[in-house]
Amino acid sequence: MFYALIIFIITSLFIGTGVYLWQNSVLKATKINYNSEIADLQNKITGLQKTSSNDDKGAEYQFSEVSASKLKKDSAVSLTPNEGFFITTSILSNKKDRIVYLEMSNSIKNIKNNYNAYWDYSIYVKNLANGEIRKIYSPTTGLCSSVYFPIAWSSNDVKIILEYALPHDGCGSGAAPYYYTAAINPNDGDLSVLATDDPLFINNYESVIYVETSANSPVECGPPGDINSGAVILKNINANSEKILAEEKNSDYTIVNIDSENILTYTVKKVKEADGCSQLDESIPEKTLKIKI
């Protein structure tokens, strides 16, 4: 009986020790698994923080006055902005050997609360063959400064087409320039105004058609003043040469469209002068005309 009791006690201790060791092993494995999951989660959080830090720091800035077409980025080329800046736009050249991009300072975000906040921007061209980066445009900015966003390369990559936009809504349309578009030389940064609002680009940005002020018609009164739509102009962007397509006296032109055969459709209304200002002459009906470009 005594021996049986001893055997029972020893067996119980053995079984108990085994159960304890098994439970301890399970607990250790569970702890290791939890620690591994926590470590993975921490790594993911760190990665997200790094991504947020390395990404365009101004990406959260909402350009309420800038169309999405001006904020496109070419995903084929990775670009790194300068410290304190973010990239708004990047466009690969037609030959795919260069890329133009616009950097804007992160401080643009402060302008929502303070319209006097300092901010600036620059336009760069990167040579993809040798990695050379050249700053081609860096204007002085102010309270109501407009921004010329790159929108395209002209044919044969001779010029870069820029288009106006106001990066904030603090100044309204009063800050808009007369020439909404410009052309800049990607080699030396030489900039020239291109066309007024609503330009019609043709032949892969080789040329642009737009309406321009003419001395042959009375000017419009009110802001911006001293302008009219008295002429239709065709400008060769690369050569920076102009041709007048239509400029009849006392006329107001509107460009409609251009078809696949380069036939331009436009309308003309007759105007007259009244108290020094242009006024529609309702006695003469509007005409729709066409011209081969």
Instruction: State pLDDT tens for residues 104-120.
Output: 998 888 776 666 677 88
The pair of structure tokens assigned to 11 is 């067996």
Q: Which of 192, 161, 164, 162 is nearest to 178 (CA)?
A: 164
Domain boundaries, given as residue ranges, for the chain: 60-195, 197-293
pLDDT value at residue 31 = 46
What tokens appear for 116 in the block? 């006097």
Q: What is the DSSP-derived secondary structure letter of residue 293?
A: -
pLDDT score at 67: 85
User: What integer pLDDT is reported at residue 90 of this predicted model?
Assistant: 97
Report whether pLDDT(237) > 50: yes
Query: In the predicted model, what is the mean pLDDT of residues 134-157?
Result: 88
Task: List the structure tokens of 80.
Answer: 């790194």
Residue where the block lists tokens 């009986």: 1
The arithmetic mean of pLDDT across residues 158-169, rounded, is: 88
pLDDT at 184 over 80: yes
Sheet containing 231-236, strands listed edge to edge, beginning at the edge strand earlier in sequence = 200-202, 207-212, 231-236, 241-246
Phi, psi of 114 (to 5 degrees): -150, 100
* Mean pLDDT, rounded, of the chain: 81
Nearest CA among 47, 117, 126, 119 for reference residue 84: 119
Looking at the structure, give the CATH architecture of the domain made up of residues 60-195: Beta Barrel (2.40)
pLDDT exceeds cutoff 90 at 151: yes
Distance CA 281, CA 273 (A): 9
69 to 7, 102, 212: CA distances (angstroms): 87, 14, 24
Tell me what the mean pLDDT of segment 251-278 comes to. Answer: 95
Tell me what pLDDT residue 45 has.
44
Residue with tokens 């808009």: 176
Ranges 31-45, 81-95, 271-285: which has the least confidence: 31-45
CA distance 152 to 69: 10
- Residue located via tokens 């080699």: 187
The whole-number average pLDDT for the span 83-89 is 94
Say what the pTM is. 0.75
Residue 86, strand partner residues? 104
Residues 220-231 have a mean pLDDT of: 82
Read off the pLDDT of each residue in 127-152 and give the average, rounded to a whole number.
Answer: 88
Alpha-carbon gap, residue 58 to 100, rounded angstroms: 19
Does an H or E element contain 45, and which? helix 2-54
